[in-house]
Amino acid sequence: KGIRGACHKGPINYEPTRLFIMAALSAKPLESKIAPSLLACDLSDMAGEAARVMDAGADALHIDVMDGHFVPNLSWGPPVIKKLRQRSDAFFDVHLMVSDPLAYVGPMADAGADGFTFHVEAATDPCDVVDAVRAASRPMVVGVALRPDTPVEALDALWRDGAFLPDLVLVMTVPPGFGGQAFMADQMPKVEALRRRFPTMDIQVDGGLNLATVEVAARAGANCIVAGSAVFKSDRPAEVISALRDGVETLALHKPARKRGGMVSSWRPRAESFEHPP
Protein backbone atom coordinates (compact mmCIF):
# COMPACT_ATOMS: atom_id res chain seq x y z
CA LYS A 1 0.00 0.00 0.00
CA GLY A 2 1.09 3.56 -0.56
CA ILE A 3 1.64 6.05 2.20
CA ARG A 4 -1.43 8.23 2.68
CA GLY A 5 -2.91 10.46 5.32
CA ALA A 6 0.30 12.21 6.40
CA CYS A 7 -0.05 14.20 9.62
CA HIS A 8 1.85 17.25 8.41
CA LYS A 9 1.05 19.80 5.75
CA GLY A 10 3.81 21.11 3.53
CA PRO A 11 7.53 20.30 3.57
CA ILE A 12 9.22 19.30 6.81
CA ASN A 13 12.01 21.54 8.06
CA TYR A 14 14.71 19.33 9.56
CA GLU A 15 16.98 22.22 10.57
CA PRO A 16 17.66 22.27 14.34
CA THR A 17 15.29 24.50 16.22
CA ARG A 18 15.52 25.82 19.75
CA LEU A 19 12.95 23.26 20.91
CA PHE A 20 14.76 20.38 19.18
CA ILE A 21 18.11 21.38 20.71
CA MET A 22 16.60 21.62 24.19
CA ALA A 23 14.99 18.20 23.79
CA ALA A 24 18.23 16.67 22.56
CA LEU A 25 20.22 18.10 25.46
CA SER A 26 17.71 16.82 28.03
CA ALA A 27 17.29 13.35 26.51
CA LYS A 28 18.85 10.27 28.02
CA PRO A 29 22.16 9.37 26.36
CA LEU A 30 22.02 6.64 23.75
CA GLU A 31 22.86 3.10 24.79
CA SER A 32 23.83 -0.01 22.88
CA LYS A 33 20.94 -2.45 22.57
CA ILE A 34 21.43 -5.99 21.32
CA ALA A 35 18.30 -7.95 20.39
CA PRO A 36 18.80 -11.52 19.11
CA SER A 37 16.16 -12.49 16.55
CA LEU A 38 14.13 -15.53 17.54
CA LEU A 39 13.65 -16.33 13.86
CA ALA A 40 17.11 -17.96 14.01
CA CYS A 41 16.58 -19.95 17.20
CA ASP A 42 15.79 -23.64 17.64
CA LEU A 43 12.03 -23.34 17.31
CA SER A 44 11.48 -26.65 19.10
CA ASP A 45 12.71 -24.95 22.29
CA MET A 46 11.84 -21.29 21.87
CA ALA A 47 11.55 -20.57 25.60
CA GLY A 48 14.86 -22.27 26.33
CA GLU A 49 16.57 -20.42 23.50
CA ALA A 50 15.14 -17.12 24.73
CA ALA A 51 16.51 -17.76 28.21
CA ARG A 52 19.91 -18.75 26.79
CA VAL A 53 20.50 -15.46 24.97
CA MET A 54 19.04 -13.30 27.73
CA ASP A 55 21.36 -14.99 30.21
CA ALA A 56 24.17 -14.28 27.76
CA GLY A 57 23.60 -10.53 28.09
CA ALA A 58 21.01 -9.61 25.45
CA ASP A 59 18.85 -6.55 26.07
CA ALA A 60 15.74 -7.81 24.31
CA LEU A 61 14.26 -10.54 22.17
CA HIS A 62 13.48 -9.52 18.60
CA ILE A 63 10.29 -11.27 17.50
CA ASP A 64 9.36 -11.18 13.82
CA VAL A 65 5.65 -11.46 13.05
CA MET A 66 4.91 -12.25 9.39
CA ASP A 67 1.44 -12.63 7.95
CA GLY A 68 2.21 -14.23 4.58
CA HIS A 69 0.82 -11.15 2.79
CA PHE A 70 3.09 -8.19 3.43
CA VAL A 71 5.94 -10.68 3.10
CA PRO A 72 5.64 -14.18 1.58
CA ASN A 73 6.80 -15.96 4.70
CA LEU A 74 4.58 -16.87 7.66
CA SER A 75 5.91 -16.98 11.21
CA TRP A 76 3.88 -16.66 14.41
CA GLY A 77 1.30 -14.38 15.91
CA PRO A 78 -0.09 -13.18 19.25
CA PRO A 79 -0.92 -16.65 20.65
CA VAL A 80 2.70 -17.81 20.41
CA ILE A 81 3.99 -14.56 21.88
CA LYS A 82 1.47 -14.80 24.73
CA LYS A 83 2.68 -18.31 25.56
CA LEU A 84 6.32 -17.21 25.45
CA ARG A 85 5.49 -14.33 27.79
CA GLN A 86 4.50 -16.91 30.39
CA ARG A 87 8.07 -18.24 30.28
CA SER A 88 10.07 -15.03 29.89
CA ASP A 89 10.26 -11.56 31.44
CA ALA A 90 12.47 -10.25 28.63
CA PHE A 91 11.68 -7.13 26.65
CA PHE A 92 9.72 -8.36 23.61
CA ASP A 93 10.79 -6.23 20.65
CA VAL A 94 8.08 -7.19 18.16
CA HIS A 95 8.63 -6.40 14.46
CA LEU A 96 5.39 -6.63 12.50
CA MET A 97 5.77 -7.51 8.83
CA VAL A 98 2.04 -7.45 8.26
CA SER A 99 -0.36 -5.79 5.83
CA ASP A 100 -2.63 -4.31 8.49
CA PRO A 101 -0.57 -3.26 11.53
CA LEU A 102 -3.48 -1.38 13.10
CA ALA A 103 -5.36 -4.68 13.55
CA TYR A 104 -2.46 -6.10 15.57
CA VAL A 105 -2.16 -3.37 18.19
CA GLY A 106 -4.72 -4.77 20.65
CA PRO A 107 -3.71 -8.43 20.25
CA MET A 108 -0.02 -7.60 20.69
CA ALA A 109 -0.66 -5.58 23.82
CA ASP A 110 -2.71 -8.46 25.19
CA ALA A 111 0.03 -10.95 24.27
CA GLY A 112 2.67 -9.03 26.23
CA ALA A 113 4.63 -7.14 23.58
CA ASP A 114 6.90 -4.37 24.87
CA GLY A 115 7.84 -2.88 21.52
CA PHE A 116 5.60 -2.50 18.46
CA THR A 117 7.50 -1.79 15.24
CA PHE A 118 5.41 -1.59 12.09
CA HIS A 119 6.26 -0.92 8.45
CA VAL A 120 5.45 2.53 7.14
CA GLU A 121 4.75 0.94 3.75
CA ALA A 122 1.89 -1.12 5.22
CA ALA A 123 0.00 1.67 6.97
CA THR A 124 -2.82 3.57 5.32
CA ASP A 125 -2.22 6.31 7.89
CA PRO A 126 0.89 5.62 9.98
CA CYS A 127 -0.10 8.25 12.53
CA ASP A 128 -3.25 6.26 13.29
CA VAL A 129 -1.08 3.25 14.12
CA VAL A 130 1.12 5.27 16.46
CA ASP A 131 -1.94 6.74 18.19
CA ALA A 132 -3.43 3.26 18.66
CA VAL A 133 -0.20 1.95 20.18
CA ARG A 134 -0.01 4.91 22.56
CA ALA A 135 -3.60 4.20 23.65
CA ALA A 136 -3.13 0.44 24.04
CA SER A 137 -3.81 -1.37 27.30
CA ARG A 138 -0.10 -2.16 27.69
CA PRO A 139 2.63 0.49 27.29
CA MET A 140 4.68 -0.26 24.17
CA VAL A 141 7.63 1.44 22.54
CA VAL A 142 6.59 2.53 19.03
CA GLY A 143 8.93 1.81 16.15
CA VAL A 144 8.60 2.34 12.42
CA ALA A 145 10.46 0.21 9.86
CA LEU A 146 11.75 0.94 6.37
CA ARG A 147 12.27 -1.71 3.70
CA PRO A 148 15.45 -1.43 1.62
CA ASP A 149 13.51 0.07 -1.30
CA THR A 150 11.80 2.72 0.86
CA PRO A 151 13.46 6.14 1.14
CA VAL A 152 13.90 7.98 4.41
CA GLU A 153 11.46 10.61 3.14
CA ALA A 154 8.64 8.13 3.76
CA LEU A 155 8.98 9.06 7.43
CA ASP A 156 7.66 12.54 6.67
CA ALA A 157 4.21 11.01 7.22
CA LEU A 158 5.00 10.56 10.91
CA TRP A 159 5.36 14.15 12.02
CA ARG A 160 2.72 16.07 13.93
CA ASP A 161 2.91 19.61 15.26
CA GLY A 162 6.65 19.67 14.70
CA ALA A 163 7.32 16.40 16.55
CA PHE A 164 8.35 13.02 15.19
CA LEU A 165 5.93 10.48 16.67
CA PRO A 166 7.79 7.12 16.87
CA ASP A 167 10.41 6.23 19.49
CA LEU A 168 12.57 4.16 17.15
CA VAL A 169 13.35 3.75 13.46
CA LEU A 170 14.28 0.33 12.09
CA VAL A 171 16.30 0.28 8.87
CA MET A 172 16.04 -3.10 7.19
CA THR A 173 19.41 -4.20 5.83
CA VAL A 174 17.87 -7.16 3.98
CA PRO A 175 14.53 -7.53 2.20
CA PRO A 176 12.04 -8.43 4.95
CA GLY A 177 10.57 -11.88 5.25
CA PHE A 178 13.42 -14.34 5.65
CA GLY A 179 16.41 -14.82 7.95
CA GLY A 180 20.00 -15.58 7.01
CA GLN A 181 20.31 -13.03 4.19
CA ALA A 182 23.41 -10.99 3.34
CA PHE A 183 23.85 -7.53 4.85
CA MET A 184 23.11 -4.64 2.48
CA ALA A 185 25.74 -1.97 3.12
CA ASP A 186 24.01 0.34 0.64
CA GLN A 187 21.39 1.00 3.33
CA MET A 188 23.90 2.83 5.53
CA PRO A 189 23.24 6.27 4.01
CA LYS A 190 19.74 5.97 5.50
CA VAL A 191 21.21 5.28 8.93
CA GLU A 192 23.62 8.19 8.57
CA ALA A 193 20.83 10.56 7.51
CA LEU A 194 18.63 9.45 10.40
CA ARG A 195 21.42 9.85 12.94
CA ARG A 196 22.11 13.38 11.72
CA ARG A 197 18.42 14.19 11.94
CA PHE A 198 17.77 12.44 15.27
CA PRO A 199 20.93 12.51 17.42
CA THR A 200 19.30 10.94 20.48
CA MET A 201 16.77 8.52 18.98
CA ASP A 202 17.19 4.74 18.84
CA ILE A 203 18.11 3.64 15.33
CA GLN A 204 17.91 -0.11 14.77
CA VAL A 205 19.29 -2.24 11.95
CA ASP A 206 18.07 -5.73 11.11
CA GLY A 207 19.43 -8.22 8.60
CA GLY A 208 22.80 -9.86 8.09
CA LEU A 209 24.34 -8.42 11.26
CA ASN A 210 27.42 -10.22 12.57
CA LEU A 211 30.83 -9.38 14.03
CA ALA A 212 32.02 -7.90 10.73
CA THR A 213 28.97 -6.01 9.54
CA VAL A 214 28.19 -4.50 12.94
CA GLU A 215 31.19 -2.23 12.44
CA VAL A 216 29.67 -0.82 9.25
CA ALA A 217 26.29 -0.29 10.92
CA ALA A 218 27.77 1.23 14.07
CA ARG A 219 29.97 3.66 12.13
CA ALA A 220 26.83 4.83 10.33
CA GLY A 221 25.16 5.54 13.68
CA ALA A 222 23.03 2.49 14.55
CA ASN A 223 22.85 1.80 18.27
CA CYS A 224 20.30 -1.04 18.22
CA ILE A 225 21.45 -4.28 16.63
CA VAL A 226 19.22 -7.20 15.65
CA ALA A 227 21.29 -10.33 15.10
CA GLY A 228 19.90 -13.79 14.46
CA SER A 229 22.24 -16.48 13.23
CA ALA A 230 25.34 -14.75 14.63
CA VAL A 231 23.99 -15.21 18.15
CA PHE A 232 21.78 -18.29 18.07
CA LYS A 233 24.10 -20.41 15.93
CA SER A 234 27.08 -19.71 18.19
CA ASP A 235 28.06 -21.97 21.05
CA ARG A 236 29.44 -18.87 22.80
CA PRO A 237 26.55 -16.39 22.54
CA ALA A 238 27.77 -14.25 25.45
CA GLU A 239 31.00 -13.49 23.60
CA VAL A 240 29.12 -12.67 20.39
CA ILE A 241 26.71 -10.33 22.19
CA SER A 242 29.65 -8.75 24.01
CA ALA A 243 31.51 -8.14 20.76
CA LEU A 244 28.42 -6.70 19.07
CA ARG A 245 27.94 -4.35 21.99
CA ASP A 246 31.57 -3.34 21.91
CA GLY A 247 31.27 -2.46 18.24
CA VAL A 248 28.30 -0.19 18.92
CA GLU A 249 29.79 1.45 21.98
CA THR A 250 33.15 2.21 20.42
CA LEU A 251 32.05 3.14 16.87
CA ALA A 252 28.54 4.57 17.31
CA LEU A 253 28.61 5.88 20.88
CA HIS A 254 32.34 6.67 20.97
CA LYS A 255 32.93 5.01 24.33
CA PRO A 256 36.25 3.34 25.15
CA ALA A 257 36.23 -0.45 25.02
CA ARG A 258 36.88 -2.17 28.33
CA LYS A 259 38.71 -5.42 28.97
CA ARG A 260 36.76 -8.13 30.74
CA GLY A 261 38.42 -11.45 31.39
CA GLY A 262 41.04 -10.89 28.69
CA MET A 263 38.45 -10.01 26.04
CA VAL A 264 37.89 -6.45 24.86
CA SER A 265 34.25 -5.84 25.63
CA SER A 266 31.67 -3.53 27.11
CA TRP A 267 29.38 -6.39 28.06
CA ARG A 268 26.62 -5.71 30.57
CA PRO A 269 24.41 -8.49 31.94
CA ARG A 270 20.71 -7.81 31.31
CA ALA A 271 21.03 -4.07 30.79
CA GLU A 272 17.59 -2.49 31.18
CA SER A 273 18.20 -0.28 28.18
CA PHE A 274 14.89 -0.71 26.40
CA GLU A 275 12.37 1.36 28.28
CA HIS A 276 8.73 2.23 27.94
CA PRO A 277 7.82 5.81 27.12
CA PRO A 278 6.53 7.87 30.07
Catalytic residues: 64, 206
DSSP three-state, residue 228: coil
Residue of 158, 100, 153, 152 whose CA lies nearest to 131? 158
CA distances from 162 to 17, 23, 111 (A): 10, 12, 33
Strands (E), the chain: 33-36, 61-66, 92-97, 115-119, 141-146, 159-160, 163-164, 168-172, 202-206, 224-227, 258-260, 263-265
What's the distance, CA 15 to chain centroid? 25
Are the CB atoms for 185 and 208 separated by under 8 Å? no
Residue of 126, 235, 229 whose CA lies nearest to 174? 229
Cα–Cα dist 151/81, whole Å: 31
Interhelix angle 78-85/46-55, rounded to 10 degrees, is: 60
Are the CB atoms for 276 and 114 separated by under 8 Å? yes
Question: How many C-beta atoms surround the C-beta of residue 46 within 10 A?
Answer: 19
Burial of 125 (0-12, 13-18, 19+ CB in 10 A): middle
Cα–Cα dist 62/34, whole Å: 9
